[in-house]
Structure formats: structure tokens, C-alpha cells
Chains A and B, each alone.
Chain A
Amino acid sequence: MKFEVNEHGYYGNYGGAYIPEMLFPNVQELKEKYLLIMNDASFKEEFDLLLKDYVGRPSPLYYASRLSVHYKTKIYLKREDLNHTGAHKINNTLGQILLAKRLGKTRIIAETGAGQHGVATATVCALMGLKCIVYMGEIDIERQAPNVARMKLLGAEVIPATSGSKTLKDATNEAIRDWINNPVDTYYIIGSVVGPHPYPDMVAKFQSVISEEIKTQLKEKTGKEDPDFVIACVGGGSNAAGAFYHFLDSGNVKLIAVEAAGKGVDSGHSAATSILGKPGIIHGSKTLLMQTFDGQITEPYSISAGLDYPGVGPIHAHLFETGRATFASITDEEALEAAYLLCELEGIIPALESAHAFAHLKYLNAKPDEIVVINLSGRGDKDLATYIRHKDLANE
């Protein structure tokens, strides 16, 4: 495949493993073994069985007929929101925890922003009986209390990240520092297609089940495997990587990555990394990232905590640079409107992150007979308070 990572861990100009020497043995071990383990028949069998019986896969591909009428095209929703724990995140945490077990690790660490990846990690740790520590920014702990409670109920220890801006990027820093301090027994489950090689490739491969299923399901429903468009939201970019993966080499499939414009791309409160970012190094990989003139990493903003990341996975930086994917951005307001519309027309409350992908439909101009697949990456339960608050404000 043209968009596979190369032997040095690069997608074109992006990727690599910019890690302190303290992490070298762990990352090297992972690099040497992840493909062997993932391709092992018994690993695949165990992973596939758990995806089916525990996660509830395959997730449905649903023809959204009323939404299709509204936008005058054919819209299918990939229902990752129906997975156990309510989002695509568990595809990855399940894969990585099986891998961690095969590496003989006994202590699991993770970072989380909104708490979805933290919950998905705490869940699989409970499933496997492994100790789980989740780093979460102090500010995110305050604004995502229900997910903190879920993690604790599942037996995880939630440690507040009090450095820097006290959000996702700082939680990631703290998780990396924990790994530096615990190099022997600990495995770090990264939640997106970010971090040093081989993480971006490994996470993309675990999430690629999404596009694998889309192909099969679309063929059953329409007679052809390839849609005209695949749309997914991008923060770090794991759900998009999974939804795009098996279409990357099919040039006739238009891939659209939707970033969070926040209060507007030029407002100073945005997370539209492809527009606002420059090449640089964050959390171990070379990618596009939002930073000051002299290379300090800046704090992004989005109403959705899951898109609130100053970088983007190196695979997406490459898709952006090569033009293989089109990058769009959607404001907070547009995302909220799209979420309300989906509630009204389809009876589905999407995660705020996924709502960004839906909001792009109004700019798409798809033809009536074209097929659009939207990755509905998560459900909106965690965002109820935000949805209700904004609805009330609008009604005042």
C-alpha cells in the first residue's frame, strides 16, 4: 500500500520515533514484535472473538433514510457508537491489552482527554485483571466527571495531570513520564494514531476493522464495496484512520477528515491542526502541530474534548500533504446543529466529536445517487450536559 508506514516508521515526511533513550527498550521491543503478535493466528482468533462477543462487532452499517432525504444523497452511518463503552476506542484498547499480555506486562497506563479512551482502557484492564492507571488533565477531570466515575468503578486509578495546561497533552506527558519511571512491568496504551512508531501504525491497524466491515456491509447492501465518500472527524485521528484504512489505495473513494474549528479557524480558539499547524515534534512523532513561532506547543480549543489536541497523527499529516484526504473544519455551533438534526431525523444522539463529521454534509454537495459513509465514532451520552445547556441558551 502506498500509505503504509515505511521501515523507519515514516508516512512520507511524518512519523518516526523521537523518544528519550529511557523509552528506547520498550518502544524497540514493541517495534520488533507488534506485527508478529498481531499476525499470529491465536492472537487474531482471541481478538476477533472478543470483538464479536464483548464489543458487539460487527457494528451495523445503517442506511439513514431521513438524513438522506434531507441532504438529497445516500447516507450510511457506521455505528461505532453501538460498541461496548460507546465509541470506537475499545477496538484499540482491546487489541493493545492482548498485546501487552503477550509481552508479559502487568501494569497498564493510559492518557485520556474526554475520558472515552480512559474508560475503554479501564474496561479491558478489568476484563484481563490488570492494574490500570489513567492520567487525565485536572481541568478535564472537572468537566468530565461521569467518565471519571466510570473509570473508578471499573477499578482504575485516575491521576490528575497538574502540569502545563492540565488537559490532554499534559495527561499524555504525564503518562510518558510514568513509563520512563516504570520501564519494566508497564505497558502504555496510547489512545490514538499518535506517539512514536510503531504506535500510529499499530492503532490504525486495530481500528482498521471499521473500514474492513464497511466494505463487506456496503457490498451486501448496495452491490459495491466502495462508497463515493467516507467522512470522519479527526482529533488525533484514530477513528478516521480506521474508517479510511482499507480505502486508502482506492483513489475513487474521496476521504474527508473533519477537524474542529472551535470558535472559528482564525478566532484563536480552534483545533484545526491541518490549517493552523506546522511540522514539528509532539509526543514522539514528527507531524503537523499547533505551536508558537519559536516551537512551544500551544493549547487548542474545541467544544469537544476528544478533538481538543494540538497535533494530528502522522498518517493524517501525510494524507493532508499528499492530498489523498480532504481536510475540512467545523465550528462548535455547526457541530451542535448537526447533532440536533441527527437527534431529530434519526433518533440518534451522536458524540460531539462525531457531530463534526455530520456537520460537513451541508458542504458536501453529493449527487443523489452517490454513497456517503459517515463514521459515527461515538454516542453522545457523555455530552448530554453540553447539548442541553446549548439548547436552553438557544431557546432563551
Chain B
Amino acid sequence: MNKLNQLFSKKNKNILSVYFTAGFPKLDDTAEILSELLTNGVDMIEVGMPFSDPLADGAVIQRSSEQALQNGMSIAKLFDQLKNNSIKSSSAVLLMGYLNPVLQYGMEKFCKDASGLGISGVIIPDLPLHEYTLHYKELFEKYDLANIFLITPQTSESRIRLIDDCSSGFIYVVSSASTTGAKGQIEQSQEEYFERIRSMNLKNPLMIGFGISDSKTFTKACEYANGAIIGSAFVKALSGSNDLKASVNKFITEIRN
């Protein structure tokens, strides 16, 4: 059983997922950040594979990606960093990034190596349902990797149902029509959208992301979904950090309160 499914069968409320960009702030920080997040009891981790042209990301993740690439990060380097048992047998870790670097690495090799390292799933925003089904679905299934799809306030009900049918792991509910990054608060219209999705009684668990930045927005999102995903705010907290361990602990403690 995929570790994502194990996670959701054990816990179905207040699941905290945290994103960080691999190779940022320093090239070799990846394993330490990962292990500190696990130590602090984060339920799910999304490791960002930096890309030169991250279309769906706001300024914070663009900058962290740029820095990580300057530091020398690549998928091969990341897999190398994850080799030393960084991913414990029970932890749900996903990779998030854009399609082109994955294609150059080789899709089958990528799936095989990721799976071998204990990765549970992949989020590739520019690999939509149609192209995935057409070209890559079989490979993902062969290596037991969940491919996580996004839905947005503009996604039609019929398409949400289709995505639900094709998903494994969970559905990534994008909180508003936007790129990644903090918005400060959750608006009434967003809550109505979350409620609309919740009342559809989908088969897959729901995780809300984009614009979730602090304890308040996390708690609010968790009222409507199984959990929520924090990215830019965490990356921002790491960017000026002199002490990663302390920064991770402080950030997670604040979210959980």
C-alpha cells in the first residue's frame, strides 16, 4: 500500500504538508530540512525540484528555484542527496516540479529511481490529465507513484469528477485562481468554493494549497479538507535562516498552534 494511502487511513484531519525547494538555501541543506520536518511531526513533505521557468509559482518559489539552480541542484543531485535513507519507511514524501527536467532525466528512470528512494508521489503542474493519461499513466502505476492532480475554483464539476476517478493519493485543491504565495487570509468566496468541493463527497482525500501561510489559514483550510499544504511561507522562513533546525522548529510550532 502506497504510504500516502497509509497516511490518510491513519489520519484524516489536520494533515500538515510542507513544501521546500531542494538545494535551497544551500545545495546540501535538502536532507537536513527533510529530517527536521519529520522530527517536527510534519505529516507529508513535498520536495521541490527547481526549474528555470516555474510557470505556476509566485515570486518566493521562483527565487528559491533560481538560487537552488545556481547552487547546482538537479534531479540527479537530489536523488543522490536522498540516497542515505533520508526518507524513513513510513514517511509520505512527494516530489514537486515541472515536466521538462523530468523528461530529460528520463521518465521511466525517474519513476524507478524515485520509487526506489521511497517517494510516494509526484506533483507536476504542467503535466495535465490528458497528456498524463496519453503518455505516462502506465509508468506511474508500474512504480506505484501517485500522480497528484490539481483542481481550482474554475474547474468544472464534471472535470473534478473525472480527476477524482483518475487520482490516487489525494486531490490538490488550489485555494484561489493564483500562482503560489501568501495572500494573507482566506476570503468568504474561497470558503464557499471549499464547501462546494467538500460537499461533492469525492473518493480521494482533499488537501488545500496555495495561499496557506500561517496557523490561521491552515486551521481554516483544515475545516474543509483533510489537510493543507504550506510552501512559499516556509521557503521564505528558510531564506534568511542561520540555523535551519531552529527555523524549521519555530515555523512548524507556530503552524500547529
- What 3 A-B pairs are tightest by C-beta distance, nearest first? A295-B104, A295-B101, A21-B150
Q: In the bound complex, do residue B155 and residue A296 qualify as a contact, i.e. CB atoms below 8 Å apart?
A: no
For A279, the chain B residues whose CB sits under 8 A away are 103
Q: Give A276-304 as 1s and 0s: 1 = Cβ < 8 Å from B's Cβ atoms.
A: 00111111100001010111110000000
Contact (A17, B128) CB under 8 Å given A294-B104, A296-B52: yes
CA distance A19 to B132 in the complex (A): 11
Chain A stretch 6-35: residues in CB contact (< 8 A) with chain B? 8, 16-22, 24-25
Q: In the bound complex, do residue B131 and residue A20 qualify as a contact, i.e. CB atoms below 8 Å apart?
A: no
Give residues in B with beta carbon < 8 Å to A.
Answer: 51-56, 58-59, 62, 66, 69, 74-76, 98-105, 125-128, 130-131, 134, 149-152, 154-156, 159, 174, 177-179
Give residues in A with beta carbon < 8 Å to B.
Answer: 8, 16-22, 24-25, 163-164, 169-170, 173, 176-177, 180-184, 278-284, 289, 291, 293-297
Q: In the bound complex, do residue B178 and residue A180 qualify as a contact, i.e. CB atoms below 8 Å apart?
A: yes
Contact (A282, B53) CB under 8 Å given A180-B178, A181-B178, A294-B75: yes
Partner of A294, one of B105, B131, B134: B105
Q: In the bound complex, do residue A19 and residue B128 qualify as a contact, i.e. CB atoms below 8 Å apart?
A: yes
For A164, the chain B residues whose CB sits under 8 A away are 52-53, 62, 66
Nearest B residue to A8 by beta-carbon distance?
B134
Interchain residue pairs with CB less than 8 A apart (22): A8-B134, A16-B131, A20-B126, A20-B128, A21-B125, A21-B128, A21-B149, A22-B152, A22-B154, A22-B178, A164-B53, A169-B53, A173-B54, A176-B55, A177-B58, A183-B177, A184-B177, A278-B104, A281-B100, A294-B104, A295-B51, A296-B101
For A297, the chain B residues whose CB sits under 8 A away are 52-53, 100
Contact (A280, B100) CB under 8 Å given A24-B128, A181-B177, A182-B177: yes
Partner of A295, one of B100, B126, B131: B100
Q: In the bound complex, do residue A19 and residue B104 qualify as a contact, i.e. CB atoms below 8 Å apart?
A: no
Q: In the bound complex, do residue A18 and residue B101 qualify as a contact, i.e. CB atoms below 8 Å apart?
A: no
CA distance A53 to B52 in the complex (A): 43
For A283, the chain B residues whose CB sits under 8 A away are 53, 55
Taking A18-B126, A183-B177, A295-B105 as given, write out 7 further A-B residue pairs in contact, using a Cβ cutoff of 8 Å, ordered by the A residue number: A18-B128, A170-B53, A180-B55, A180-B177, A281-B103, A282-B100, A295-B100
Contact (A20, B55) CB under 8 Å given A181-B177, A184-B154: yes
CA distance A8 to B151 in the complex (A): 21
CA distance A24 to B130 in the complex (A): 11
Q: In the bound complex, do residue A294 and residue B101 qualify as a contact, i.e. CB atoms below 8 Å apart?
A: yes
For B54, the chain A residues whose CB sits under 8 A away are 173
Q: In the bound complex, do residue A284 and residue B155 qualify as a contact, i.e. CB atoms below 8 Å apart?
A: no
CA distance A184 to B98 in the complex (A): 25
Nearest B residue to A169 by beta-carbon distance?
B53
Q: In the bound complex, do residue B155 and residue A18 qualify as a contact, i.e. CB atoms below 8 Å apart?
A: no
CA distance A180 to B128 in the complex (A): 15
Q: How far is the CB of A103 from chain B (nearest CB, A)?
A: 14
Q: Point out which of B62, B128, B149 has the most chain A C-beta atoms below 10 A from its C-beta.
A: B128
Q: How far is the CB of A107 from chain B (nearest CB, A)?
A: 14
For B127, the chain A residues whose CB sits under 8 A away are 18
Q: In the bound complex, do residue A173 and residue B55 qualify as a contact, i.e. CB atoms below 8 Å apart?
A: yes
Partner of A17, one of B75, B131, B150, B177: B131
Q: In the bound complex, do residue B56 and residue A296 qualify as a contact, i.e. CB atoms below 8 Å apart?
A: no
Partner of A22, one of B51, B101, B150: B150
Q: How far is the CB of B154 from chain A (nearest CB, A)?
A: 5
CA distance A284 to B66 in the complex (A): 20
Q: How far is the CB of B69 from chain A (nearest CB, A)?
A: 6
For A295, the chain B residues whose CB sits under 8 A away are 51, 75, 100-105
CA distance A302 to B185 in the complex (A): 45
For B105, the chain A residues whose CB sits under 8 A away are 294-295
CA distance A282 to B150 in the complex (A): 20
Q: Point out which of A19, A173, A180, A284 has the most chain B C-beta atoms below 10 A from its C-beta.
A: A180
